[in-house]
Amino acid sequence: MSVYQIIEKLGITLPPVATPAAPYVPFVRTGNLVFLSGHISRKDGKPHTGQLGAGMAVDEAKAAARSVAIDLLGTLHAATGGNLDQVHRIVNLMVLVNSAPAFTEHHLVANGASELLGEVFGDAGKHARAAFGVAQIPFGCCVEITLVAELTPGT
Amino acid sequence: MSVYQIIEKLGITLPPVATPAAPYVPFVRTGNLVFLSGHISRKDGKPHTGQLGAGMAVDEAKAAARSVAIDLLGTLHAATGGNLDQVHRIVNLMVLVNSAPAFTEHHLVANGASELLGEVFGDAGKHARAAFGVAQIPFGCCVEITLVAELTPGT
Amino acid sequence: MSVYQIIEKLGITLPPVATPAAPYVPFVRTGNLVFLSGHISRKDGKPHTGQLGAGMAVDEAKAAARSVAIDLLGTLHAATGGNLDQVHRIVNLMVLVNSAPAFTEHHLVANGASELLGEVFGDAGKHARAAFGVAQIPFGCCVEITLVAELTPGT
């Protein structure tokens, strides 16, 4: 099954790449690696805001992390010229969770993104990861994620 | 125009590389990539301190981010053996903003660094980026930035 | 002297790799680079918790950072198929320190990890580094560290 068949089966619609207003870009390829910019949580096209440990439930933030991972897939789709099957491996994720000082379950939030990548890419979706709590995220978003992927050489 | 002519035109003087007192180094090259250590904001040779959302204005922090980018250029100058024209692409920036819990405009602060890299390198300066708010930065600095660049193969 | 002789001389016992319960992995190799997941501070097999600037002393956290670096070595040992001498260079460290807003000496904490890598690998252990204070770390740990290493080509 191609990655796109799996995505369809999961009922996922890939979003278009968000074009940053600022002087940076959604991704940069160097050699076989592609670095994706920090993608922030969105809901209905607007920032999905909230802080863990200050009113937001883990389940809602975990769903937000899954949604950010779908946005990252949309960017990877663009980075591969529309051929996600060129993704050889998801290498690394940095998952930032908007945290009040007492919240300590960032790993559970991050699993929302990690599990989606496993569902879509199988073993190739198993990545190294760091998850932790930050003081704030642009626009007050609850989650921000960066991703590094390896593309198949020669593609 | 070479990168150095652009830098001169912008009125920028490259600083010498700060040698860390600790057992780490300002940059490491691996293959065509060079990873730069976190560079912290300085003013008149001393830490440029402050916290956004706790008295420091966005404009001051944006200027600090631009200044950190100039320090990063100084380190890249050293990493290329004095030949910044060997920089093929700025790949990735991680911009840490010293943030009180209510501040949510880290992207505006980070633009200070991103815009400078665009001015100096043009399209080759367009990078992937993550910007977010951290609880604190060494010495109380307002901004800390890491950078990954790709150098021209064979150089 | 091989890296293992140095490790023995330092009185260090490499721990087994902790297998994450979640859908991610302790390390991913891509080309000659290996990306290690965020490793959190542990003591007697349990999370080593605490927050700097809120009761925990710098020395204790520095020792925790050294201990995390030993765990990272254990993971690198696994990543090299049991041959740490294949490590060509430690490239990059990101050291997250669990910080109350007033703590500003994250660099001193991070030195615990940086110094150990210098002792074990000598010049090859000198890395680029970012250290900063985060709002929280999973399980309330005091330190979390990610590492990127370059392995000898062809190994």
The ipTM, to two decimals, is 0.95
Which of C122, C118, C19 lies closest to C78 in space, CA to CA? Answer: C19
- Residue A39: phi and psi, rounded to 5, are -100, 130
- SS3 for C46? strand
CB-CB contact of A64 with B67 (8 Å): no
How far apart (Å, rounded) are the C-alpha atoms in residues B117 and A30? Answer: 17
Q: Is A43 helix (H, G, I), strand (E, B) or coil?
A: strand
Strand runs (DSSP E) across chain C, as ranges?
27-30, 33-40, 42-43, 46-47, 87-98, 128-134, 143-151
What are the residue boundaries of the structural domains of chain A, listed by start?
3-9+27-150
Cβ-Cβ contacts under 8 Å, C37 against chain A: 128-130
The predicted pLDDT at position B18 comes to: 77
Smallest CA-to-CA distance from C141 within C38, C8, C19 is with C38
Residue ranges for chain B with pLDDT beneath 50:
none
CB–CB contact B91 A28 (8 Å):
yes
Q: Are C113 and C106 contacting, i.e. CB atoms less than 8 angstroms apart?
A: no
CATH code, A3-9+27-150: 3.30.1330.40
Assess whether pLDDT exceeds 90 at residue A154. no
Nearest residue of B to residue C31, measured between CA atoms: B31
Q: pLDDT tens across C70-86, in order?
A: 999 999 999 999 999 99
CB contact under 8 A, B38 and C93: no
Residues on C contacting B at a C-beta cutoff of 8 Å: 31-33, 53, 89-94, 99-107, 110-111, 114-115, 117-118, 125-135, 148, 150
The tens digit of pLDDT for each residue in C34-52 reads 999 999 999 998 999 999 9
Q: What is the mean pLDDT of residues A83-110?
A: 96
Residue A152 pLDDT class (50, 70, 90 cuts): very high
Read off the pLDDT of each residue in A46-63 and give the average, rounded to a whole number.
97
Select the residue of A94, A136, A138 nearest B101 (Cβ to Cβ).
A136
**What does the pLDDT read at residue B137?**
98
Which one has a higher pLDDT value, B15 or A148? A148
Order of strands, sheet of A87-98, starting from the edge strand that comes earlier in the sequence: A27-30, A33-40, A143-151, A87-98, A128-134
Q: Inter-chain contact A135–B101, Cβ cutoff 8 Å? A: yes
Residue A116 pLDDT > 80:
yes
Non-local (6+) Cβ contacts of A47 within 8 A are A40, A41, A138, A139, A140, A141
CB contact under 8 A, B24 and C148: no
Q: Do C138 and A115 touch (CB under 8 A)?
A: no
Contacts 24+ apart (CB under 8 A), A15-18: A15/A70, A15/A71, A15/A74, A16/A74, A17/A74, A17/A75, A17/A78, A18/A71
**CB A128 to CB C51 under 8 A?**
no
Nearest chain B residue (CA) to C136: B135
Question: Rounded mean pLDDT of C95-100?
Answer: 97
Closest Cβ–Cβ partner in A32, A118, A134 for C134: A134
Q: Which residue has the tokens 């050294």?
A: C66
Q: Mutate which of A30, A91, A144 to test chain B, going by most B C-beta atoms within 10 A?
A: A30
Structure tokens given for C125 = 């252990």
**pLDDT of C21:** 67
CATH class of B3-151: alpha beta
Cβ of A136 within 8 Å of Cβ of B32? The answer is: no
Q: Which residue has the higher pLDDT, A90 or B6?
A: A90
Mean per-residue pLDDT for A7-31?
87
Q: How far is B56 from chain C (nearest CA, A)?
A: 15
Interatomic CA distance for residues C6 and C124, integer angstroms: 14
Topology classification of domain C3-19+26-151: 60s Ribosomal Protein L30; Chain: A; (3.30.1330)
Q: Answer whether residue A82 shows pLDDT above 70.
A: yes
pLDDT exceeds cutoff 80 at C20: no
Tell me the whole-structure pTM to 2 decimals. Answer: 0.96
Q: How far apart are CA C34 and CA C76, in angstroms?
A: 8
Given an 8 Å threshold on Cβ–Cβ distance, is A144 in contact with B130? yes
- The residue among A151, A76, A20 whose CA lies nearest residue B126 is A20
Q: Which of B25, B30, B34, B48 to mutate to test the interface with C (most CBs of C within 10 A)?
A: B30
Q: Choose the mutation target among A136, A147, A150 for the interface with B, i.e. most B CBs under 10 Å.
A: A136
**Min Cα–Cα distance to chain C from A129, Å:** 5
